[in-house]
Structure 1
Amino acid sequence: MHTDFPELLGAGLVLLFIFYLGFLSIKIKIPNVILYILLGIILADALTDNELLHFASEIGIVLLFFLLGLEFNVKRLGGIAKKIWPSGLLDVALSLGVTTVIALLFNLDLFSSFLVGGIAYATSSSITAKLLDDRGRMANSETEFILGILIFEDLVAPIVVAILFGVSSGESFTSLSFFILIGKIIGMTLIAIILGKTLFKNFETFLDKIMDEDFKTALLIGIALSYGGLALYLGLSEVLGAFLAGMMLAEIGKIDKIEQTVLPVRDLMLPTFFIYFGTTIELGDGIPMAGLLVSVLVWSVIAKLLVGLVGGPIYGLSKRASLRAGLSLCARGEFSVVIASVASGALKAFSGLYILIAAFVGMILFEQAPKLTTRIYGKPVKKKKNLRVPGD
């Protein structure tokens, strides 16, 4: 008798769990992302190294950032870049630099300290972007600043990952390796800009000629996955590649034509990323390095708050919007998981526990950001519509 558990049955059950938890999240008013991560932790033994789940999660996160990239054509992205770099560097200094120093003060060696700093550095792009979308905050004045910080982190985090992987593998990570990595990022960005201005210049007209929706879906998702896959092939993040793919197509007149085609597939696949993320968290026995854990968690929140409170006004935001931004940047996620995979032993267990708590705390602070802002600054004065968003 055949006793192996069919992957098809497993996939069906995961989808049913996604439906139930999504429905439950509405009833109990808890972000569905938290429930999906918890499901991943509970099913970790059954889903460990599940290639089907991993592949689905990759598609989900790629399509999320592909659709985000659609919102940023070259002109708009250039306007944001000019204003985001001071806040981005502040983020690197506070979240990566100071956290590394804190770990050194707890007598960790330089490599381990830099590893902890890397884990604490990058905000979870996927969690933050999903919550922005779910909570209807995409049109808020601080959203462009938040996305700008996420993009900046997505450019810096692959460099941190490459350094850590290079050192941990025993290979020397030289200045030449560093400049090659930067060259790849710049190269992919330039190619995306050139293709957007040439090959995809009349893409809207071409899409209108495709009458079969299935072919259109295959084309658009194929573009997103291909450029995301190219980024992976070059040793970069698929998230960065997917964002650039969206940016390539952002030059067309009406991006809603693309969004209507891709959104259903993204909404189906994206929950699997958070479930898969949950399966990668290894808690181990007990609480490893409890003092360091508490210190890094507290500083992680303070650092992102300072990025918002100090960096927001530099970007052109009000105090109210700056506070909302800082409170919305505290969740850690996918890059932290990638960096934590380099760790071993107690440091790996520490990393898993940190990521889990930081993800939950970050999502709670995101949820409470509007209320906390109102409590501190009072109710906002109603203004006329058609406000200009910084970077437009």
Structure 2
Amino acid sequence: MHVEVPTLLGAGLVLLLIFWLGFLSIKIKFPNVILYILLGIVLADAIHGNEILHFASEIGIVLLFFLLGLEFNIKRLGGIAKKIWPAGLLDVALSLGISLLICLGFGLDLLTSFLIGGVTYATSSSITAKLLDDTSRMANSETEFILALLIFEDLVAPVIVAVLMGVTSGGEFQTVDLLILVGKIIGLTVGAIILGKTLFKRFEELLEKIDDEDFKIALLIGIALSYGGLALYLGLSEVLGAFLAGMMLAEIGKIERVEQTVLPVKDLMLPLFFIYFGTTIEFGDGVPKVGLLITLIGWSLVAKILVGMIGGRLYGLSKRVSFRAGLSICSRGEFSVVIAALATGVIKVFSGIYIVIAAFIGMMLFERAPQITNLIYGKPKKKKKNLKVPG
């Protein structure tokens, strides 16, 4: 006899499992993100399609990128944009272009090859940002480069999704549709800059006047969700909208006031995103196209490491730091899932298996990146401080 579990009970049990897995990850020194995804895969039949879980996971990912956006005011973001485009274009060529050619070489048609190329393209912004935070690497010299590359991918990935949606839906995706999409991205960005320079210019003064923390949470999370939702309404990524919302508030003097309010809600909601991500993975019956799968996994890892090594140097990083950056951007995640959802049959199963394997390997490489870098380049030498003696 099938017993319907009350939603409240289910939510409570999921939160208790999140606590237990988080505690377990500390004990066994294993990335908690992987455990959350595995939990999602195990619970897929029970909670797949759960609207409450989906909504909570959306809030978690939006708040993560809202907080990231706070670290990038308009001046800093403009400087980064000038430096990241060579690495960004290299990423498109290696991660998407070469993967597409590999699929064609295995006998797939152009549309299927482009779809799989899209799946292999974007680094998982959520997994990478979460790991940067968990491993206390936010202050590292390569972090700015990694985040800039993630933002570049977040601009390109919606274009890929829009093209695929236009083609797979049976409609024609013409040049004018692409121009409209780019116009939306530019409009959303310009809107954020204007709001940051006008409406939110004296936002810090408003925060100081709000003593009640409940009102402050409603205001700040409302801003993040509204701009992320506006991006979705325009057919873009909520991740991009949330980042731009954070950037709007980055102009205020003390962003710590915002971070202290939003951080606890983000920490509660974000694990739910990875659980929901796990529920979207469908393994099907066996592993299709094993040769292509192994080839693509191998190349996609090499491609991202090359993007880090070459793109990092173009960005101005040292060889050591560039290599460490390349090892840190190999995970695939949310955009790959969105693109894979457009596939059908065997290709959908193939894409799901690829995403899980690439996510796991990518997270393990991220965790071991400092050790692998030290193994290849040797341990960094500590700089001696020259002390000047008076007189």
Instruction: Give yes or no for TM over 0.5.
Output: yes
Matched, 1:245 2:245: yes
Report the Cα distance in structure 2 between the residues aligned to 1:215 and 1:4, rounded to whole angstroms.
36
Matched, 1:22 2:22: yes
Report the Cα distance in structure 2 between the residues aligned to 1:148 and 1:167, rounded to whole angstroms.
29
Report the Cα distance in structure 2 between the residues aligned to 1:8 and 1:184, rounded to whole angstroms.
39
Matched, 1:297 2:319: no
Report the Cα distance in structure 1 between the residues aligned to 2:65 and 2:289, rounded to whole angstroms.
35
Q: If the length of structure 2 is used for normalisation, what is the TM-score?
A: 0.97
Give the equivalent residue in structure 1 for 2:70: 70
Q: Report deviation, 1:47.
A: 0.6
List runs of 5+ in structure 2 lacking aligned partners.
386-391
Report the Cα distance in structure 2 between the residues aligned to 1:84 and 1:170, rounded to whole angstroms.
35
SS of equivalent to 2:18: helix
Report the Cα distance in structure 1 between the residues aligned to 2:213 and 2:384, rounded to whole angstroms.
39
Report the Cα distance in structure 1 between the residues aligned to 2:379 and 2:292, rounded to whole angstroms.
38
Deviation per residue, 1:189-235 (Å, 9 max, x gap) = 00000000000000001100000000000000000000000000000
Show the 5 A alignment for 1:337-376: 337-376=337-376
Q: Report deviation, 1:382.
A: 2.0
SS of equivalent to 1:251: coil
Show the 5 A alignment for 1:96-135: 96-135=96-135
Report the Cα distance in structure 2 between the residues aligned to 1:48 and 1:58, rounded to whole angstroms.
15
Matched, 1:159 2:170: no
Report the Cα distance in structure 1 between the residues aligned to 2:159 and 2:266, rounded to whole angstroms.
27
Give the equivalent residue in structure 2 for 1:325: 325
Matched, 1:59 2:66: no
Show the 5 A alignment for 1:369-384: 369-383=369-383
Report the Cα distance in structure 1 between the residues aligned to 2:384 and 2:300, rounded to whole angstroms.
36
Q: Report deviation, 1:2.
A: 11
Report the Cα distance in structure 2 between the residues aligned to 1:175 and 1:110, rounded to whole angstroms.
18
Q: Report deviation, 1:259.
A: 0.2
Q: Report deviation, 1:55.
A: 0.4
Give the equivalent residue in structure 1 for 2:146: 146
Give the equivalent residue in structure 2 for 1:89: 89
Q: Report deviation, 1:287.
A: 0.9
Q: Report deviation, 1:52.
A: 0.6
SS of equivalent to 1:329: coil
Q: Report deviation, 1:4.
A: 2.4
SS of equivalent to 1:379: coil
Give the equivalent residue in structure 2 for 1:390: none
Q: Report deviation, 1:26.
A: 0.2
Distance verdict in 2 for CA 1:176–1:378, change over 3 Å: same
Letter of the structure 2 residue corresponding to residue 147 of structure 1: L
Q: Report deviation, 1:384.
A: 7.6
Report the Cα distance in structure 1 between the residues aligned to 2:208 and 2:383, rounded to whole angstroms.
38
Q: Report deviation, 1:5.
A: 1.5
Letter of the structure 1 residue corresponding to residue 369 of structure 2: A
Letter of the structure 2 residue corresponding to residue 278 of structure 1: G
Give the equivalent residue in structure 2 for 1:279: 279
Give the equivalent residue in structure 2 for 1:389: none
Q: Report deviation, 1:383.
A: 3.7
Matched, 1:270 2:270: yes
Report the Cα distance in structure 2 between the residues aligned to 1:204 and 1:101, rounded to whole angstroms.
51
Q: Report deviation, 1:3.
A: 4.4
Give the equivalent residue in structure 1 for 2:193: 193
Deviation per residue, 1:133-173 (Å, 9 max, x gap) = 00000000000000010000000000000001110101110
Report the Cα distance in structure 2 between the residues aligned to 1:174 and 1:324, rounded to whole angstroms.
40
List runs of 5+ in structure 1 lacking aligned partners.
386-392
Report the Cα distance in structure 1 between the residues aligned to 2:335 and 2:267, rounded to whole angstroms.
21
Q: Report deviation, 1:105.
A: 0.5
Report the Cα distance in structure 1 between the residues aligned to 2:367 and 2:84, rounded to whole angstroms.
24
Give percent identity, aligned residues only: 76
Report the Cα distance in structure 2 between the residues aligned to 1:115 and 1:60, rounded to whole angstroms.
27
Show the 5 A alignment for 1:10-49: 10-49=10-49
Report the Cα distance in structure 1 between the residues aligned to 2:179 and 2:6, rounded to whole angstroms.
46
Report the Cα distance in structure 2 between the residues aligned to 1:383 and 1:248, rounded to whole angstroms.
38
Deviation per residue, 1:265-289 (Å, 9 max, x gap) = 0000000000000000001111100
Letter of the structure 2 residue corresponding to residue 188 of structure 1: L
Letter of the structure 1 residue corresponding to residue 245 of structure 2: A
Give the equivalent residue in structure 1 for 2:389: none
Give the equivalent residue in structure 2 for 1:174: 174
Give the equivalent residue in structure 2 for 1:214: 214
Letter of the structure 1 residue corresponding to residue 277 of structure 2: F
Letter of the structure 1 residue corresponding to residue 163 of structure 2: I
Q: If the length of structure 1 is used for normalisation, what is the TM-score?
A: 0.97
Letter of the structure 1 residue corresponding to residue 293 of structure 2: L
Report the Cα distance in structure 2 between the residues aligned to 1:106 and 1:272, rounded to whole angstroms.
37
Report the Cα distance in structure 1 between the residues aligned to 2:384 and 2:86, rounded to whole angstroms.
30
Q: Report deviation, 1:381.
A: 1.6
Letter of the structure 2 residue corresponding to residue 56 of structure 1: A
